[in-house]
Each structure stands twice: as structure tokens, then as C-alpha cells.
Amino acid sequence: MYDFTFHIPTRINFGRGAISHLSELAESGNKALLVYGGGSIKRNGIYDEALRILGEAGVEVTELSGVEPNPRIQTVRRGVELCKEQGIQMVLAIGGGSTIDASKVIAAGALYDGDPWDLVLDSSKAVRALPIYSVLTLAATGSEMDCFAVISDMTKNEKWGTGAPCMVPTMSVLDPTYTFSVSRRQTAAGTADMMSHTFENYFTREKGADVQKEFCEGLLRTMVKNGPVALAHPDDYDARANLMWAASHAINGLVGAGSANAWCVHPMEHELSAFYDITHGEGLAILTPAWMEHVLSVDTVADFARYGRRVWGIQGLDDFAVAHEAIAKTREFFFQTMGMPANLRAVGITDDKNFEVMAQKAADGSKGSYVPLTKDDIVEIYRAAF
Ligand code: NZQ
Ligand code: ZN
């Protein structure tokens, strides 16, 4: 097991009615920036409830709405300006990963003298941030309990992740009932995203990390069990609750610390989103089986066979046969059980003209991964997924 420091300072308030904990924002002052997306929080009543609780706690609210899926740096800049102009003391994100990610960089940008894009390109510049609070409405990214944020500049076809200790939320509200209104499409994409976070940690060259490996297998079985239940019964509380809590643990360090190598499917997907603005979880679902097939070899077969046996319950003594069946099961789960788009054409990517440029950028981002990938490897994976 590698050496590590594990510290998650986020207070999690989980369950029905947990939004009452928004009164705790008063510990950070009385002027909050409320950040949200395209309006789902108004349709499902969370917005009114949050404003009521904040009002009672004496917290004054300035709003920044319209955070895009794949949040843009331009929106982050507007948020930073509001914080500086209005003397904002804390940032409250209500929404999915995009809203929380934008809020993190806004909170750091508020205490930074330069352009917040600097904080995206160089995380070491993010040393201070306003306190960040979140109310999670979509189980997927784990942003509610991690230090990461992913921000895009679509004018340059760039989407980069950043992360710093100061960007970990102080407190997050996780009420599974808030995810009842998440669409089938986003429920499936969220499940694929949390599974991919688990895979990125699970497929590692570090062979001595039993605890992390067993946690990963438990998380994956939980996701495989509950994703389809949430699709069939959007208001099944336990399915939504299990997905929500599993997603947080897939990326908060629990299964990565001491075990993980550099990630590699995520850098490939971030290029797809940067060039084509596709949904993150859909890109991951499309790339994952193609990546698994590409990296399966005599060196890796034992890992994929273990995945097949422990997660999918596949029987058999031949490691290669089990590994191939495990990849087929993964494919079937995403594209049939969860009804996700099965290839890049299905998400509107109709030509391969950017693959070389994207692959070069993704190769730089995935150095030191489970199986190091060259630009040519990644072009092959994009083509296989096309
Ligand atoms: O904008 P609104 O109106 O709120 O609608 C959103 C959006 O259209 C909707 N939605 C959210 N909660 C809902 C809901 N609709 C109905 N009911 C609800 N309760 O869902 C749509 C997608 O929201 P978004 O926040 O974009 O989704 P997600 O949580 O999947 O976040 C994706 C972003 O997170 C980044 C991705 O790259 C992408 O930009 N990631 C962040 C990570 C992190 N911070 O650690 C890691 C991930 O790997 C990922 O890269
Ligand atoms: Zn992800």
C-alpha cells in the first residue's frame, strides 16, 4: 500500500429533511452567494425551502443562476465578481456536480487576485477559499465530499480538473429524496460516472491494497444493484440513498488513498466534453468497455478476472474467458440495462477529425496510469468507441 494522508473535513448531513442544516451557514457569516443551475431546484421546491431556512438563520442571499452542465469559466468569473463586489462570506451550491464545481472555483477565486482560470490550470495557486456548502441534487460526481472541480473554456475546447484542500466543502446536505426528480438519462449517466470513479481506483498497479480493493468491489456491486432500481422506480428511497452514498465514497479518497494510480478514462472523456460538450457520464460509459478491451493482456488479466468474479459473480477457471465476460457484462449493463448511448455517434459525434489532438492532450493527462496509454492507444480507443 502506498503512503497517504487521509482527511475529509466535510460534515455530511444525510437523509430526509437534512436541508434544515442550512441554518449552519450562519457560522460563516451572514452574506452567502447561492449558486444553482438551469432551474431544476425551483421546479422541485428546494429553492424555496433553502431561502426560507437561510432567511430564518439571518443569512442574506445573492444569487448566481444558470451554471451549465460542463460549467464554464465565464460563469465562474461572474460569480467571483459578485463575491468581490458584495463582500460575500460563503458560497452555497445547490445542484449537481457542475454547480458544486463552479462554486468551488468561485469560492477560491473570491480570495485570489488574478483570473480564476489560473486556479483551473494550476491548482497550487488555490490556497484560500471562502467556506463552501452544498445541497446535492444528483448522485454522480462526488463533488459534495471531495476537493476537485472541473471547469471548461469552450472557446478553447479546454476542460480541466483542478483540486485543492481549500475547495473541500465545509458541509454538504445529502437528501436522497432530492434525486427523485433526476431524469432517466441523468440517473444512468450518474451511475456510470460513480462506477468509473471506482474503476479508476480499482484498476491499479498497487497489488497490496486489499482494503481499498474490497471497498471498490462493494461499491460497484451496490451501484450495479441500485442503478436499475432507480431507473425503474425513481422515488425508491433506498436505491437513491445507496447510489448517493456510494458516489460520495467512490472519489472522496476512501478507495483511492494508498492505492490509486493516475486516472486514464477520465482524461479521455474530458476531451470529448471539451470538444463536443457531451454529458460526462455518457462519455465514460462509451469509453470504459473500449478501454477495458484495449488494456486487457497477460499482465492485467488477473485484475479483470477478479473484477468479473467479485462484481458480476462470473464462474470459471479460465481468467481470459472470465475477463472477456466481465467486459461484456459491463457493456450490457451500461447500454442495455441502463439504456445509455452505446457509441460516440449516438451522442452526436459524427467525425473523427479531432481525435488526434484530443488523444495527445489525454495522453499527457494519463501519464502514470494503470496501463500507460500513448496518443496512438487513445486514438484506437476513440475509434473503437466510435
Ligand atoms: O441545471 P439544473 O436545472 O439544475 O439541471 C441539471 C442538469 O441539467 C439536472 N439536475 C440536477 N439535479 C437534478 C436535475 N434535474 C432534475 N432533478 C434534480 N434533482 O441534471 C443535469 C446535469 O447536472 P450536472 O450538475 O451537470 O451533472 P453531474 O452531477 O453529473 O456533474 C457533471 C460535471 O461534474 C464534473 C463533470 O466533468 C461535469 O462537468 N465532474 C466533477 C468531478 C468532481 N468534482 O470531483 C469528478 C467527475 O469525474 C466529473 O468530471
Ligand atoms: Zn467522473
Q: What is the pLDDT of residues 154-198, one digit of tens each?
A: 999 999 999 999 999 999 999 999 999 999 999 999 999 999 999
Cα(384)–Cα(267) distance, integer angstroms? 17
The length of the chain, given as a count of residues: 386
Pocket of ligand 1 (CB under 6 A): 37-41, 44, 69-70, 95-99, 101, 137-138, 140-143, 146, 148-150, 178-179, 181-182, 186, 190, 193, 251, 266, 280-281
Give 356 Cα–ligand 2 centroid separation in angstroms. 22
- The DSSP element (H or E) to which 363 belongs, if any, is helix 355-365
pLDDT band at 209 (very low <50, low <70, confident <90, very high): very high
> Between the CA of residue 248 and those of 177, 242, 243, 322, what are the distances in Å?
16, 10, 9, 29
What domains are defined for the chain?
A: 11-178 (3.40.50.1970), 183-385 (1.20.1090.10)
Q: Which ligand is nearest to the CA of 169?
A: 1
Question: CA 361 to CA 272: how far, in whole Å?
Answer: 11
- Within 31-142, residue ranges assigned H as helices are 40-43, 46-56, 73-86, 97-109, 117-121
Write down the pLDDT at residue 95: 98
Confidence tier at 366 by pLDDT (50, 70, 90): confident
Q: Which three cell numbers stand for residue 167?
A: 475547495
Percent of the chain with pLDDT over 70: 100
The whole-number pLDDT of residue 180 equals 98
Model pLDDT, residue 136: 98
Which mutation among 35, 67, 73, 98 tests ligand 1's pocket best, with the greatest number of atoms within 8 A of CB?
98
Q: Which amino acid is at 127?
A: V
pLDDT surpassing 90 at residue 290 = yes
- Summary count for the chain: helices (H), strands (E): 14, 8
- Closest to 84 in 3D by CA, of 114, 58, 55: 114
Joined together, the cell numbers standing for residue 184 give: 432517466
Distance 194 CA to ligand 2 centre (A): 7
Can you tell me which atom of ligand 1 is nearest the CA of 38?
Answer: 3
- Ligand of minimum distance to the alpha carbon of 96: 1
Ligand 2 centroid to residue 198 C-alpha, Å: 10
Query: What are the cell numbers at 58?
Result: 439571518
- Expressed in percent and rounded to 5, the helix, strand and coil fractions of the chain are 55, 10, 30
Question: Which atom belonging to ligand 1 lies closest to the Cα atom of 70?
Answer: 39
The pLDDT of residue 225 is above 90? yes
Q: Give me ligand 1 centre to Cα 94, in Å.
A: 11
Please name which of 122, 102, 121, 99 lies closest in space to residue 110, comparing C-alpha atoms: 102
Which ligand is in closest contact with the Cα of 75? 1
- Residue 138 pLDDT grade (very low, low, confident, very high; cuts 50, 70, 90): very high
Buried b (16+ CB within 10 A) or exposed e, 230-268: bbeebebeebbbbbbbbbbbbbbbbbbbbbbbebbbbbb
Q: What percent of the chain has pLDDT over 90?
A: 99
Which residue in this structure is represented by grid cell 460516472?
A: 193
Grade residue 364 by pLDDT with cuts at 50, 70 and 90.
Answer: confident
Q: 94: closest CA among 132, 140, 52?
A: 132
501519464: which residue's cell?
367
pLDDT digits (tens, 9 = 90+) for 109-131: 999 999 999 999 999 999 999 99
Whether residue 192 contacts residue 282, with contact meaning beta carbons closer than 8 Å, is answered with yes
Containing 136, the helix (H) or strand (E) segment is strand 132-136
Residue 223's pLDDT band (cuts 50, 70, 90):
very high
Cα-Cα-Cα-Cα dihedral sign, residues 212, 215, 220, 221: positive
Closest CA to 265 of 349, 377, 156, 341: 377
| Residue 89 binned pLDDT confidence (cut-offs 50, 70, 90) | very high
- Burial level of 351, CB count in 10 A (0-12/13-18/19+)? exposed
**Helix pair 184-202, 265-276: axis angle to 10 deg:** 140
